[in-house]
Chains A and B, each alone.
Chain A
Amino acid sequence: MATDTEDLAPYERWTRGAIQNPRRVYTGLFYVATIFFLITTLFPFYWLLVIALTPTGMLGQIGITPPAIDPGSFVEIFERLPFHVYMFNSFVLALLTTAIVLLLGSLAGYVFGRLTFPGRTPLMLIVLAISYFPPAAFLLPLFELFTGNVEVLGVQSPVLFNTPGAMVMPFSALFMPLAIFILATFYSQIPDGLEDAARVEGTTRLGALFRVIIPLSAPGVATAGVLTFIVVYNEFFFSFLMNDGQAENWAPLVWGILNYQGQYSQFYNLMAAASIVGVLPIAILVVVAQEKIVSGLTAGALKE
């Protein structure tokens, strides 16, 4: 029963099969690419876990697996520094910003999505431009403003440095454009008839917005909210510069992690454990809300 193919070496057999049936090559390529992408995206997370589980004394012997397993780092990170306070601060800052962005962004999204008025396009372009400006271009004046060094009509600006205000305000301005474009897209899809019907029944204009348009656009509001939360939680620039890095002064996650790098520079396992704990809320959010994230990102970027 010896056939041609069986006499050939495996490599040649494979080549011949490939020429006869290119579809198999594409399937093979697809699996290779999938495995490559899985490894490259997930290996760095695995590496964090390896380091986090390694006991402090054995950090020099780390290989592709931990030399010994000791989950103690996950407890220690809350004892050496108040890591839970940094996390709490990040949550409060992200939630406050999300609330402000959704409220102001809903008003603006309604205007851009449903109303026609002179100046609409130029205003949209300005909103768009703001989200792309480098935060560094705003740093000096905002720092002066938030440290009480700016006078307006003889009134000193309040000292907001080391308070949530110094971070929430820049976050809100920088991330509102994304939310506005997502919300405008959703609000514009509500049929006019529904809004008109509510207005005929005596609802005010604002009432129609809050009672008809926003509830009917709940998926859009959720999308904008999830994305805003993620980008604020992830922000670095103002989180780093608008406080002194102390947990009691509203320093967020950025500082919780950097302080481990700075003050416990040999405790790589603590840095890794803190990073894992810091990334957990976002990882959960991504698994739960991946459809929203994908649709929001693509709607924001590919608005036509």
Chain B
Amino acid sequence: MSPGLLETASAPAKATANWVEGLSETAFAYLLLAPMLLLFGVIAFWPLASTFEMSLRADSLAGAENIGPFVGLENYVDLATGQRDAVMPRPFLDLDQPFRSALTVTIIFAVVSVAIETIIGFGQALVLDQEFKGRRWLRVAIILPWAIPIVIQGMIFYLLFVPGIGIATEPLQQLGIFGSTPLSNPVDSLIIIVIADVWKTAAFMALIILAGLQSIDRSLYNVGRVAGATALQRFRYITLPLVMPAVLIAMLFRTIDAMRVFGLIETVSDCTVVPSLSCMVVQTFGARRYGTSAAIAFITAAIIAVFVMVYIVQFARSEEGLL
């Protein structure tokens, strides 16, 4: 769609160009948004609605049809009460074995890894905030893990922890933290996956927090120094409160992302060992239990939607502030 094409084109094209010129600003805006909205319609809105519709139908294991008859909320009720657990690789929600049921393991993963990432990311941001020689290269080193493919991230930690080769397994076994086969033990595998996630995504936290740090007015520190505040006090009363909004936004983003963990588990360990919500969706889908799968997928989306809403309310407020 080069501009030259529009201007040297034939009569119908010229007529179209004139028609576009005559549109009101609103009509022109929606015309330009049309391709994007079409793509979102086919790839996001329709699938979401369709997933919800499928989640109200029974599994259909035999016969040509993938989807059974309408059963209302039965899939959701069965998942919540544990009646569906028998036909799934792992239970959906079982508080007696939190490391083996999908909902609890996903929440544990998200909370633990985001908490550690925040602390490490904050540390990295404080270091990157200093002026020193080689800062650029330290920043490259810190960003690099963030930029690598999930499958390679998974492969690295697989090779670090696979028994016989992995350099990290034996010391942890001697300390009594890991069992003999960490990659098929739910707790050991979860620990490895948390470490892998922290390694890759602390950099994202660091960059957002760094941006927050650098937006702090430096003269505040001079005021603090004149008032006799120690470095720790300056950090506690100036840096921390001012950087908090950036930290919270970064935490929200990471939580949303952590709730959909899948590829890392599939590469390092196995979806039956660490059954995250996305893992369960894929596994029940693979077993042709479309109704069950759709219900888990929709629950996952709904949980994430709660976090997204928090962010969106925040975002809408700042947008209004601009207008």
Contact = CB atoms under 8 A, between A and B. Distances in A.
Interface of A: 22, 26, 30, 33-34, 37-38, 40-42, 44-45, 47-48, 51, 59-60, 62, 64, 103-105, 107-108, 110-111, 115-118, 120-121, 123-130, 132-145, 149, 169-170, 172-174, 176, 180, 203-207, 210-211, 230, 233-237, 240-241, 253-254, 257-258, 261, 268, 271-272, 274-275, 278-279, 282-283, 285-287, 290, 293-294, 297-298, 301-304
B159 A301 contact: no
A278 B151 CA distance: 10
Nearest to A180: B36
Contacts of A105: 36
B226 interface: no
Contacts, number: 298
B123 A108 contact: no
Contact of A140 (B51, B203, B308): B51
Nearest to A278: B152
Given A142-B43, A237-B278, A283-B144, A44 B199 contact: yes
15 contacts: A41-B141, A111-B32, A130-B40, A134-B300, A137-B47, A139-B282, A140-B54, A140-B293, A204-B20, A236-B262, A237-B278, A258-B266, A282-B149, A286-B143, A302-B249
Interface of B: 1-3, 6-7, 17, 20-21, 25-26, 28-30, 32-33, 35-36, 39-40, 42-44, 46-48, 50-51, 54, 66, 123-124, 126-127, 130, 132, 136, 138-145, 147-152, 155-160, 162, 164-165, 167, 199, 203-204, 207-208, 210-212, 230-231, 246, 249-250, 253, 256, 259-260, 262-264, 266-267, 277-278, 281-282, 285, 290, 293-294, 296-298, 300-301, 304-305, 307-308, 311-312, 315-316, 318-322
Given A59-B165, A144-B66, A34 B138 contact: yes
A289 to B, nearest CB: 10
A247 B249 CA distance: 39
Given A140-B285, A203-B3, A275 B155 contact: yes
Given A121-B316, A134-B278, 8 more contacts: A33-B127, A44-B156, A64-B167, A141-B46, A173-B39, A176-B39, A257-B151, A279-B152
Contact of B3 (A45, A206, A236): A206
Nearest to B204: A297
A274 to B, nearest CB: 8
Contact of A236 (B151, B165, B259): B151
